[in-house]
Homo-oligomer: A and B are copies of this chain.
């Protein structure tokens, strides 16, 4: 019989409550409906998933409806696995429309985004009849990834700032995502290019390839805030998080997935995977913040607020607020840094835990997360030294 046409918000709530009360039912961590791109040679191979709307710990009414609409179309959602993917069907759409009936008309603009998705799908499918490329996707447990669809759902959650950086499990992403040639937003199997190379080349129809990667670019899927600027789409990978007011310049910059900014940041350098930069900070031209895969021995790096990483500097330790790493200076975990006694005292004022050492020598890792440190190379002696920086540090704020 299917879902009966719902007439009021009250009825909708009752229906949702009824669905949620079923034995074994679980609210998903994330869910959404994706359009997928399939392999040109192997149509079973899913190359990409695009979401018009991503839900992350929210909109549990809609997920209940989707679960029930799937059940009515013969697909029982498995709540025990970490993720569940089902193909959209005519019955699924029909039942969803009936359940969402009270909201159909008002589902425009910012209102009832999931209902908008169903409306749009209904319209697309009426004309094409091709349901195979649309998937209902749920994540029930934050475990290692198993499908392309769930991987994109998590990448969206990060890039839309719905999930915190380093806050979700991305294990398995590299195994799940296929390596493809990207022609604009379209992923192409490398084997397809190989099999058709002669024909494509001789006909002048070989596609323009912008990259070959498992991940798409951030701007292929995400609309940044009005005051965010990304001057070259290749510089930010999907799965990065770019807070409003951030500017990413096109020189030597790069922001990897599961890395990014928490507020307005000027980015002219590299924010490696797992690195996070706080509001008001400045990653200078060519500056490198090392990632867990590139030199930090597994310790992910956070940079505080109002901190300045100079041009071509390298930072291999986490830094607090109001720090400066001078242009060209490298501060790694093992770098030995000399701090004059008077400066140790000044630094202790804002970093109570900083010990006083008689030899005045500190390893980089011993200065991790401290505030207001200015790292520089004494150009008369070559010694790497540290002082109290002149930048503002908000006190009473130990760590990030």
- A residues within 8 Å of B by Cβ? 33, 35, 37, 50-53, 109, 113, 116-117, 120-121, 124, 134, 179, 181, 184-185, 190-191, 193-195, 197-204, 206-214, 219-221, 223-224, 226-235, 237, 249-254, 268, 270, 272, 284-286, 288, 290, 294-295, 310-314, 316, 326-330, 332, 335-338, 361, 377-384
- Asked whether B229 lies within 8 Å of A232 as measured between CB atoms, the reply is no
User: Whole-angstrom distance between the alpha carbons of A206 and B377 in the complex?
Assistant: 49
**A377 — nearest CB in chain B belongs to which residue?**
B382
Could you pull out 5 A-B pairs where Cβ atoms are within 8 angstroms?
A: A213-B231, A252-B254, A311-B314, A312-B314, A316-B327
- Asked whether B209 lies within 8 Å of A233 as measured between CB atoms, the reply is yes
- Asked whether A224 lies within 8 Å of B212 as measured between CB atoms, the reply is yes
- Asked whether A272 lies within 8 Å of B285 as measured between CB atoms, the reply is yes
Q: Which residues of B contact A33 (CB under 8 A)?
A: 202
Q: Pick the contact of A190: B208, B224, B337 (CB < 8 A).
A: B224
Q: Which residues of B contact A227 (CB under 8 A)?
A: 179
Q: How many copies does the complex hold?
A: 3
Q: Pick the contact of A211: B200, B230, B288, B379 (CB < 8 A).
A: B230
- Asked whether B202 lies within 8 Å of A52 as measured between CB atoms, the reply is yes
User: Whole-angstrom distance between the alpha carbons of A45 and B68 in the complex?
Assistant: 45
Contacts A212-B219, A252-B251, A310-B295 given; does A380 touch B383 at CB 8 Å: yes
- Asked whether A230 lies within 8 Å of B212 as measured between CB atoms, the reply is yes
User: Whole-angstrom distance between the alpha carbons of A223 and B202 in the complex?
Assistant: 15
User: Whole-angstrom distance between the alpha carbons of A234 and B223 in the complex?
Assistant: 19
Q: Pick the contact of A179: B198, B201, B226, B286 (CB < 8 A).
A: B226
- Asked whether A228 lies within 8 Å of B202 as measured between CB atoms, the reply is no
User: Whole-angstrom distance between the alpha carbons of A235 and B185 in the complex?
Assistant: 19
User: Whole-angstrom distance between the alpha carbons of A189 and B367 in the complex?
Assistant: 45
**A208 — nearest CB in chain B belongs to which residue?**
B184
User: Whole-angstrom distance between the alpha carbons of A220 and B235 in the complex?
Assistant: 19
Contacts A113-B198, A190-B223, A228-B212 given; does A270 touch B295 at CB 8 Å: no
Contacts A202-B124, A327-B330 given; does A270 touch B285 at CB 8 Å: yes
Q: Quote the shortest CB–CB distance from A313 to chain B (angstroms).
A: 8
User: Whole-angstrom distance between the alpha carbons of A207 and B229 in the complex?
Assistant: 17
Contacts A208-B220, A382-B377 given; does A311 touch B295 at CB 8 Å: yes
Q: Quote the shortest CB–CB distance from A93 to chain B (angstroms).
A: 12
**A256 — nearest CB in chain B belongs to which residue?**
B249
User: Whole-angstrom distance between the alpha carbons of A272 and B221 in the complex?
Assistant: 30
Top 9 A-B pairs ranked by shortest CB distance?
A382-B382, A251-B254, A52-B198, A328-B330, A252-B252, A232-B234, A184-B208, A288-B311, A379-B384
